[in-house]
Structure 1
Amino acid sequence: MPPLPQRCVIREVGLRDGLQSIQTVLPTEHKIEWIRAAHEAGQREIEVGSFVPARLLPQLADTAELVAYAKTLPDLFVSVLVPNLKGAERALEAQADLMLVPLSASEAHSLANLRKTPDEVVAEVARMRAARDASGAKTLIEGGIGTAFGCTLQGRVEPAEVLRCMQALLDAGADRVSLADTVGYANPAAVRELVEAARGIAGERLCCAHFHDTRGLALANVYAALEAGVTRFDATLGGIGGCPHAPGASGNASSEDLAFMLADMGIDTGIDIERLLALRARVAAWLEGETLHGTLWRAGLPKTFGAIAHHA
């Protein structure tokens, strides 16, 4: 196997993927505090929300305000999720650095989640690319391929279909692509195999992997993706989140557990883990009554954990 990367990026998606799937509607001032504290802890890529109709996801109605705030922080790369052209137009207007367009490789999940087939999503990405180019904006477009390892609605998702969707997204004008295990069906062997095949298509444009800890395999899957050359991972503080349209999709990879694992392996994330744990405690207090995940906060840092984590 090639050597592991020396540096990785943890993209914090708790403000979107985490908050969209819980009942509590977090006040905007708390979200701003979260973004500020995450930045102070060394996180440099944050997905702050989603441009979807507020009636569908009231939890994310303040996304434009959060983008505006996040853009004031130095060296922070600000991303948002957009399901369609209207959302993309709002992302361009807000001057987000990146818009993530979700495409589900499972047709059943795609229809349930976006009311579109995968190929209709690809056509929408082409329209987004045209709108982006016409506006002169520098916002990047990332096609995020969900249910890449299986689906609770449809069952098996063929790797060939995932790779077909990936090629179609790139052909439609996506700047980069990513793979997501939306329902926690992946295992390390499947991850290594699919990532290697995907890199054969997308090369360095395969930019990120997104794993759920539904069956306790998120960090094992991260390690397999690392071995196959991925250096950016989505995670949520406290492991909150999941997809509202994917039954049983509980819990993302926990940001603090992932940051600890990488740092303990000598891989630089730029994150101050003690600060991140302090932020987790604040977020847990705001989300009282909601289920949070992760284990580092309970066990604490081991005595053998050295200064390696404090790069921030």
Structure 2
Amino acid sequence: MGVRELGLPERLGSGESLPSRVEIWEVGPRDGLQNETEVVPVEVKVEFLDRLARAGLTTLEATSFVHPKWVPQLADAEELLARLDRRDGVRYPVLVPNERGLDRALAAGVTHVAVFASATETFARRNLNSGLDAQFAMFEPVIARARESGLDVRGYVSMCFGDPWEGAVAPEQVVAVGKRLLDAGCSQLSLGDTIGVATAASVERVLDAFTESGVAIGDLAVHFHDTYGQALANTLAALRKGVTTVDSSAGGLGGCPYAESATGNLATEDLVWLLDGLGIEHGVDFDALVETSAWMATRLGRPSPSRVVRALAG
């Protein structure tokens, strides 16, 4: 059941600072499923991606070419991409951690890749087995080779608002990491609240720090987790600052296998509900999306974490 069927107004607010359209960067098939305790069958993943595409989502982060030892849930990356019916007008980016991952992505015919950096020293060592500065020795050759091969490259920056070992993270430190990724050739940065500790005020501070450093707001995306129930409030704060790309996960799936305090991502359904209420275009068939996440919840054998899915799908 959609917003109109419930009799809600089509637009609850029309502040001039809000964008007219938002791109939803769907991370459920990758970031959502990588944290599952049981490996999801590849045929289920393929159908999940197809259902999401049919629901109108045009950016679907399909999988990761991380070594299977570290993320066994995504060990079927090549098979998944080989079986996937790639639809016209839909992008299927994949995460690549190093040059070996890029080799695999190129062999699979991928056109969009992403690299994953840390804004803090401790998380870089725990997640990447590298230091804050040394991590770029891995990423910069990957970005350069990908760009030379005609691929678009996105840069993720994790722990942008807080780190479970280091505490609060200075916005200037996040900007330094992010600008280095942009300078290396990334077309967009996704700023991650990996453990879900951000508030609207801290989101504004980080975004302001980027724009004050000369980074265009259009080069920034946001990636929120809902650990403290702030993901939607943080999204609204980012929208009011001019951000037009928001990461989310269908059904609220996901977390981070290297940060135990990280709960699920912002649910795509909850995001769409917010955008509909604000009158912001997004191109997603809300009912088809809810149906897809309810279907996926049955495959995983548990209720969806999304509040909207639970409210509408029972």
TM, length-normalised to structure 1:
0.90
Please name the residue that 2:237 is paired with: 224
Q: Give distance in 2, aligned partners of 1:130 and 1:293.
A: 38
Q: Give distance in 2, aligned partners of 1:121 and 1:235.
A: 26
Q: Give distance in 1, aligned partners of 2:294 and 2:300.
A: 10
Please name the residue that 2:251 is paired with: 238
Amino acid at match of 1:160: E
1:202 CA displacement: 2.2
1:25-48 CA deviation, whole Å, 9 max, x = no partner? Answer: 111111111111101110000011
TM, length-normalised to structure 2:
0.90
1:132 aligns with 2:146: yes
Please name the residue that 1:108 is paired with: 122
Residues 94, 182 of structure 1: CA spacing in aligned structure 2 closer, same or farther, 3 A cutoff?
same
Q: Give distance in 2, aligned partners of 1:198 and 1:191.
A: 11
1:53 CA displacement: 1.3
Please name the residue that 1:54 is paired with: 68
Which consecutive unaligned segments of at least 5 residues does structure 1 have? Answer: 302-312
Counterpart pick for 2:135 among 117, 121, 124: 121
Counterpart pick for 1:180 among 192, 197, 204: 192
1:69 CA displacement: 4.5
1:168-194 CA deviation, whole Å, 9 max, x = no partner? Answer: 112222232221100101000110121
Contact 2:226–2:264 under 8 Å retained in 1:
yes
Q: Give distance in 1, aligned partners of 2:153 and 2:27.
A: 16
1:71 CA displacement: 6.2
Report how many aligned residue pairs link the two structures.
298
Please name the residue that 1:309 is paired with: none
Q: What CA RMSD, in Å, does the superposition of the two structures yield over aligned residues? A: 1.8
Please name the residue that 2:112 is paired with: 98
1:208 aligns with 2:228: no
Please name the residue that 1:158 is paired with: 170
Q: Give distance in 2, aligned partners of 1:246 and 1:151.
A: 9
Please name the residue that 2:9 is paired with: none
Please name the residue that 1:296 is paired with: 308
Identity %: 38
Please name the residue that 2:102 is paired with: 88
Q: Give distance in 1, aligned partners of 2:21 and 2:50.
A: 23
1:247 aligns with 2:247: no
Q: Give distance in 2, aligned partners of 1:294 and 1:175.
A: 30
Amino acid at match of 1:181: D
1:63 aligns with 2:88: no
1:276 aligns with 2:289: yes
Contact 1:125–1:174 under 8 Å retained in 2:
no
Q: Give distance in 1, aligned partners of 2:156 and 2:40.
A: 26
Partner-residue secondary structure (3-state), 2:92: strand
Q: Give distance in 2, aligned partners of 1:129 and 1:275.
A: 35
Please name the residue that 2:11 is paired with: none
1:257 aligns with 2:275: no
Please name the residue that 2:182 is paired with: 170
Q: Give distance in 2, aligned partners of 1:197 and 1:96.
A: 33
Amino acid at match of 1:62: D
Q: Give distance in 2, aligned partners of 1:99 and 1:143.
A: 9
Partner-residue secondary structure (3-state), 2:133: helix
1:225 CA displacement: 0.5
Which consecutive unaligned segments of at least 5 residues does structure 2 have? Answer: 1-14
1:149 CA displacement: 0.2
Residues 69, 12 of structure 1: CA spacing in aligned structure 2 closer, same or farther, 3 A cutoff?
farther
